Amino acid sequence: MPEPVKIASELARPLVKKLDPPKKGSPMKTVFIVLAVVLVGIGSGYGLNTLTGGISGIKSSTQVTPGGIKVGDVIGSPDEKSFPDQVEGVLVPGGIESEGSYHLLRPGGPSQNVYLTSSVVDLNLFVDHKVQIWGESFAAQKAGWLMDVGRVKILELNAPKPFEEETPTPSEE
């Protein structure tokens, strides 16, 4: 059994050691350092953007007007990993039984159509143009191929359709 005197002396020692107070620096020096770091960050970002010309000429839908597009324009997301699938054809309005808002006409007839929706690009800007589209394919109930579009490249303005679609008569609807 330990000696009572030894236990009492151990309890008398403080459990927490006092720390030395922090050295007071100049508050202006701290403000200057923070300001310098922020300015260097902004300057380097601006410089890199200027040197590289932005993100390889890709525009957002808000930068484009229907009459302002030309062959070669790329509109949408620069993120290729999020939109790995690609296809090309003539864009026309209309989905199939509530799947997609637009579709691409491709050679081979209606069985080759790709039905489209987009949360990134305003597809209405590209109606009746031949386009290359990058997107992500999704499972569909009625459409053979359903894709969420992330990026569009204009291949041909006012392109001829690869085939004429039949419009359903009221009795077929």
The CA distance from 49 to 13, in Å, is 61
Q: How many domains does the chain have?
A: 1
Paired tokens of 90: 């003539």
Q: Domain of 164: which CATH number? A: 2.40.50
Whether 83 is covered by a domain: the verdict is: yes
> How does pLDDT run across 53-64, given as a tens digit for each residue?
544 555 555 556
In this prediction, residue 9 carries a pLDDT of: 60
Give domain status of residue 132, yes or no. yes
Asked, for residue 74, whether it belongs to a domain, the answer is yes
In a domain, 4, yes or no: no
**Residue 100: CB atoms within 10 Å:** 27
Secondary structure (3-state) at 172: helix
pLDDT digits (tens, 9 = 90+) for 115-169: 998 888 889 888 999 999 999 988 888 888 899 999 999 999 988 888 888 765 4
Residue 166 lies in a domain: yes
Domain containing 109 equals: 59-172
Given this model, what pLDDT does residue 79 score?
Answer: 78
pLDDT at 172: 44
pTM, two decimals, is: 0.60
Tokens of 79: 């993120």
For residue 10, name the pLDDT band (cuts at 50, 70, 90).
Answer: low
Alpha carbon distances (Å) from 140 to 36, 88, 93, 105, 133 = 54, 19, 18, 18, 18
